[in-house]
């Protein structure tokens, strides 16, 4: 009862805030956020700030805060497998939580301990058994005159025991009739070799959920671990490191060392970042002005992001966004297959979303053009789709 | 005697009292409008909880009107006890005789608000009508059917009729899709295709189970009766999901050549027939 009351009052307060304020003054349009790095404001910023606030690992610092417990989970599972337990594990978390970084750290650790491992990165969506065996053969250096599942499994089990880390699991997700065949093939491979090899999978949360809800992928995995989103405090800490790296020693006349994580503009920025570091970086860059003293900076109170652009989208466009979140990315051909539309119609929907600044056009490693959600607004879009029941 | 009654009546309904009654009714109406607006805003803000939020309004409305009318009678008019009893008796008799159905519907409306058989947003079947409950008024319930017709059902009838509620307060709902298919299709393959087709449809709520059953039926000839049961993401998408899944099954069967000689292949056969009879070479 207390929970539902607090949910009701929280929702009402949020809604009241969003309804009774002047949107022109107090909110930033979604496309302004997604196109910030192309804006004049960003171009006019000092090079030292840009270098400190770029989206990637910072010299000497790790931009991604990997929790000890996440790495400990992988090490413990690996230890148990080495001791003879039949273990395979999966890690999943929201886009941008550092799943790949976590896997890289774990694999580096293995490398230092002279353990054998292979990292498998899919470069395209797997559409049949041939694709699956081909992808594994190429990355595990297995040569086969003819792709047959049984002989592939024999060869895989002939390899010395090792860790096989599979990133980008979203390439397994597809809402097409052939999806079950692909999952069946991978399941057979994992089941036949999981005692011998240590399988480690990493997937974005929405892709992982789809694989589990639709294809019971979790039944193949003995241990799964949710990599939680960044807390406000972690984002606060990271932003302070960035300001310090850029050479500033005070924010709004308070020195970096004495900044409280519980109040102030930086705390407000951390709170509004919704666990997404990219949003935190955006808020800092778009709200800063140089202070009067040298090496000082002023940060304006952050504004809300105006999601009215999402509210204007059609049902087809919202379903498209939901499927892009789950599939990781979609090319017009894939979109046409998923939604049973014509290629041109799919291209139009995807292009419209790109023009609105919600999607980015990218070239896949297999040289296909595809569309994916802009990382900077992914947390906002995913939360919106969940609230609208398009994602679950 | 008549003069005394008239003076009592005038005293009971003086201008001040009439104005107070009007003001109370207007305030109650405005408060209800405000509450309705707040609930609608909450629904727009978080559509996932559309059904739960919408259901609160009918209950709040009844409570507020009961409070308002009680205040008007006991707080503003404040009649002598004898007048109350006499009025209630007369009013009851008059209303009972003149508007049995209206009172019955009103009482049914209050009963339905106290112990609801369905909520606003539920998909229900009342008699021959199937649709989404869009409003629960004091005396009537309104349904919107899939062909966009508005059906108004008196609450009294609803209490007497068995109601089939498809989603019972949840946003997702079990939808059964029935297809009649020729018996030359292997059952395993058919079930496999049906399950995959349901998993592929973006309207399907994958968190809940999907099932496919096949029964042989004889009606002039043998055929398979395939039933796919899956949950739709939102009750409003029920028809879209059923069509999408059925189309995916048929397309897949055709792609695999399993429906080559079936009724679904009637269009190419018609075209062939036209070609044969065409006078042009």
Predicted confidence at residue A335, as pLDDT, reads 94
- Band the pLDDT of B267: cuts 50, 70, 90: very low
Report pLDDT digits (tens) over A137-168: 988 888 887 888 888 999 999 999 999 999 88
State the smallest CA–CA distance between residue B100 and chain A in angstroms: 40
Q: Taking residues A209-236, what's their average pLDDT?
A: 89
CA dihedral B29, B30, B36, B39 (to 10 degrees): -140
Which carries the bigger pLDDT value, residue A264 or residue B213? B213
A386 closest CA partner among A320, A322, A313: A322
| A 177-216 residues inside an 8 A Cβ radius of B | 177, 179-180, 210, 213-215
Q: Kindly list the strands in the beta sheet with B173-181, ordered across the sheet, starting from the edge strand earlier in the chain.
A: B173-181, B221-232, B211-219
Tokens of A228: 């939680």
B197/A177 touch (CB, cutoff 8 Å), yes or no: yes
How far is Cα of residue A239 from the mean position of the Cα atoms in its chain?
19
* Predicted confidence (pLDDT) at residue B276 exceeds the cutoff of 60: no
ipTM of the complex: 0.82
B196/A338 touch (CB, cutoff 8 Å), yes or no: no
Predicted confidence at residue A292, as pLDDT, reads 62
Measured CA to CA, the distance from residue A335 to residue A372 in angstroms comes to 12
Query: Worst-scoring range by mean pLDDT, B8-17, B113-122, B189-198?
Result: B8-17
Query: Worst-scoring range by mean pLDDT, A58-67, A258-267, A360-369?
Result: A58-67
Predicted confidence at residue B279, as pLDDT, reads 38
Which carries the bigger pLDDT value, residue B65 or residue A25? B65
Measured CA to CA, the distance from residue B52 to residue B120 in angstroms comes to 8
Q: Taking residues A359-385, what's their average pLDDT?
A: 87
Measured CA to CA, the distance from residue A221 to residue A257 in angstroms comes to 44
* Predicted confidence (pLDDT) at residue B263 exceeds the cutoff of 70: no
Q: How far from B153 is each of A134, B143, B248, CA to CA, in Å?
A: 62, 8, 37
Let me know: does B172 contact A309? Beta carbons within 8 Å: no
A chain contacts of residue B52, beta-carbon cutoff 8 Å = none
- Band the pLDDT of B266: cuts 50, 70, 90: very low
Domain count for chain B: 3
* Predicted confidence (pLDDT) at residue A23 exceeds the cutoff of 80: no
Domain annotation covers residue B21: yes
Measured CA to CA, the distance from residue A88 to residue A110 in angstroms comes to 16
- Band the pLDDT of A11: cuts 50, 70, 90: low
Q: Is residue B213 located within the same domain as residue B263?
A: yes
Which carries the bigger pLDDT value, residue B167 or residue A326? A326
Q: Is residue B91 located within the same domain as residue B8?
A: yes
Tokens of A260: 């409280």
Which carries the bigger pLDDT value, residue B79 or residue B180? B180
Sequence spans of domains, chain A: 24-64+231-306, 68-227, 308-387
Q: Do domains A68-227 and A308-387 have the same CATH topology?
A: no
Q: Is residue B197 located within the same domain as residue B147?
A: no
A15 to chain B, any CB pair closer than 8 A? The answer is yes
Residues of B contacting chain A (CB within 8 angstroms) = 38, 41-42, 45-48, 171, 192-193, 195-197, 199-202, 205-207, 233-234, 244, 247-248, 251-252
Mean pLDDT of the residues in chain A: 84
Question: Domain A308-387, what fold?
Answer: Arc Repressor Mutant, subunit A (1.10.10)
Measured CA to CA, the distance from residue B229 to residue B241 in angstroms comes to 11
Measured CA to CA, the distance from residue A373 to residue A382 in angstroms comes to 10
A219 to chain B, any CB pair closer than 8 A? The answer is no
Which of B98, B115, B132 lies at the terminal end of a domain, its last residue?
Answer: B98
A384 closest CA partner among B54, B202, B40, B48: B48
* Predicted confidence (pLDDT) at residue A25 exceeds the cutoff of 80: no
| A 325-344 residues inside an 8 A Cβ radius of B | 338-340
Domain range for B161 is 123-165
CA dihedral B93, B95, B99, B101 (to 10 degrees): -80
B chain contacts of residue A323, beta-carbon cutoff 8 Å = 202
B197/A319 touch (CB, cutoff 8 Å), yes or no: no
How far is Cα of residue A164 from the mean position of the Cα atoms in its chain?
21
Residue of A nearest to B170 (CA): A389
Measured CA to CA, the distance from residue B144 to residue B209 in angstroms comes to 28
Nearest residue, CB atoms, A180 vs list B42, B196, B247: B196
B202/A14 touch (CB, cutoff 8 Å), yes or no: no
Let me know: does B195 contact B210? Beta carbons within 8 Å: yes
Q: Is residue B212 located within the same domain as residue B150?
A: no
Q: Taking residues B268-273, what's their average pLDDT?
A: 43
What angle do helix axes A232-245 and A277-286 make, rounded to 10 degrees? 50
Measured CA to CA, the distance from residue A205 to residue A92 in angstroms comes to 5
B206/A210 touch (CB, cutoff 8 Å), yes or no: yes
CATH number, position B179? 3.30.70.100
Report pLDDT digits (tens) over B159-184: 888 888 888 888 888 999 999 998 88
CATH code: domain A68-227 is 3.40.50.300
Phi, psi for A119 (deg, rounded to 5): -110, 125
* Predicted confidence (pLDDT) at residue B280 exceeds the cutoff of 50: no
3-state secondary structure B8-72: HHHHHCCHHHHHHHHHHHHHHHHHHHHHHHHHHHHHHHCHHHHHHHHHHHHHHHHHHHHHHHHHH
B209 closest CA partner among B234, B174, B181: B174
Domain annotation covers residue B144: yes
Percent of chain A scoring above 90 in pLDDT: 33
Let me know: does A291 contact A250? Beta carbons within 8 Å: yes
Query: Worst-scoring range by mean pLDDT, A2-11, B127-136, B204-213, B219-228?
Result: A2-11
CATH number, position B138? 2.30.30.60
A chain contacts of residue B46, beta-carbon cutoff 8 Å = 11, 387
Q: Kindly list the strands in the beta sheet with A254-255, ordered across the sheet, starting from the edge strand earlier in the chain.
A: A254-255, A250-251, A296-299, A288-290
């Amino acid at each position: 009862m207390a929970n539902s009351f607090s949910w009701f009052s929280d929702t009402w307060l949020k809604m009241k805030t969003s309804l009774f304020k002047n949107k022109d003054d107090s909110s930033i349009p979604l496309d302004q956020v997604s196109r910030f790095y192309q804006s004049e404001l960003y171009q006019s910023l000092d090079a030292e700030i840009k270098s400190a606030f770029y989206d990637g690992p910072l010299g000497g610092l790790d931009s991604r805060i990997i929790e000890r417990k996440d790495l400990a989970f992988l090490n413990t599972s690996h230890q148990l497998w080495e001791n003879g337990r039949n273990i395979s594990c999966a890690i999943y978390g929201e886009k941008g939580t550092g799943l790949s970084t976590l896997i890289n750290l774990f694999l580096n650790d293995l490398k230092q301990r002279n353990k054998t491992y292979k990292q498998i990165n899919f470069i395209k969506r797997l559409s049949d058994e041939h694709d699956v065996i081909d992808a594994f053969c190429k990355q595990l250096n297995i040569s086969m005159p003819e792709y047959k599942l049984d002989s592939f499994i024999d060869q895989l089990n002939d390899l010395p025991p090792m860790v096989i880390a599979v990133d980008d699991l979203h390439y397994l997700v597809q809402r097409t009739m052939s999806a079950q065949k692909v999952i069946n093939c991978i399941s057979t491979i994992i089941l036949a070799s999981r005692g011998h090899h240590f399988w480690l999978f990493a997937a974005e949360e929405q892709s992982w959920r789809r694989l589990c809800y639709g294809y019971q992928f979790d039944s193949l995995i003995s241990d799964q671990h949710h990599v939680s989103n960044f807390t406000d405090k972690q984002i606060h800490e990271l932003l302070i490191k960035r300001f310090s790296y850029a050479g500033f020693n005070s924010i709004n006349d308070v020195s970096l060392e004495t900044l409280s994580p519980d109040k102030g503009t930086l705390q407000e920025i951390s709170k509004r970042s919704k666990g997404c570091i990219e949003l935190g970086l955006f808020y800092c860059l778009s709200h800063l002005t140089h202070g009067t003293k040298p090496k000082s900076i002023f940060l304006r109170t952050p504004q809300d992001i105006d999601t009215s652009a999402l509210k204007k989208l059609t049902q087809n466009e919202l379903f498209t966004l939901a499927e892009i979140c789950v599939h990781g990315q979609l090319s017009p051909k894939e979109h046409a297959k998923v939604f049973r539309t014509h290629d041109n119609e799919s291209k139009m929907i995807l292009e419209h979303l790109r023009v609105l600044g919600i999607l980015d056009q990218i070239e896949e490693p297999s040289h296909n053009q595809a569309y994916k959600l802009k990382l900077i607004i992914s947390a906002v879009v995913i939360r919106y789709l969940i609230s609208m029941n398009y994602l679950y | 005697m008549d003069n005394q009654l008239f003076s009592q009546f005038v005293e009971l309904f003086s201008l001040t009292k009439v104005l107070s009654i009007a003001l109370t009714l207007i305030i109650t109406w405005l408060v209800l409008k405000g509450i309705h607006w707040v609930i609608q805003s909450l629904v727009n803000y978080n559509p996932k909880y559309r059904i739960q939020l919408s259901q609160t309004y009918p209950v709040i409305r009844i409570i507020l009107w009961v409070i308002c009318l009680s205040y008007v009678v006991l707080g503003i008019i404040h009649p002598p006890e004898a007048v109350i009893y006499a009025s209630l008796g007369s009013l009851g008799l008059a209303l009972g005789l003149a508007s049995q159905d209206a009172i019955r519907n009103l009482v049914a409306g209050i009963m339905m608000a106290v112990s609801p058989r369905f909520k606003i947003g539920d998909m229900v079947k009342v008699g021959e009508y199937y649709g989404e409950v869009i409003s629960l008024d004091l005396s009537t319930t309104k349904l919107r059917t899939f062909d966009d017709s508005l059906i108004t059902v008196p609450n009294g009838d609803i209490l007497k009729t068995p109601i089939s509620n498809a989603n019972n307060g949840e946003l997702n709902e079990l939808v059964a899709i029935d297809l009649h298919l020729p018996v030359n299709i292997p059952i395993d393959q058919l079930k496999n295709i049906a399950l995959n087709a349901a998993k592929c449809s973006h309207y399907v709520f994958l968190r809940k189970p999907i099932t496919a059953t096949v029964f042989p039926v004889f009606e002039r000839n043998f055929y398979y009766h395939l039933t796919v049961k899956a949950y739709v993401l939102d009750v409003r998408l029920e028809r879209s999901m059923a069509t999408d899944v059925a189309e995916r099954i048929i397309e897949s069967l055709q792609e695999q050549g399993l429906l080559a000689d079936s009724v679904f292949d009637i269009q190419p056969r018609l075209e062939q027939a036209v070609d044969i009879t065409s006078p042009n070479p």
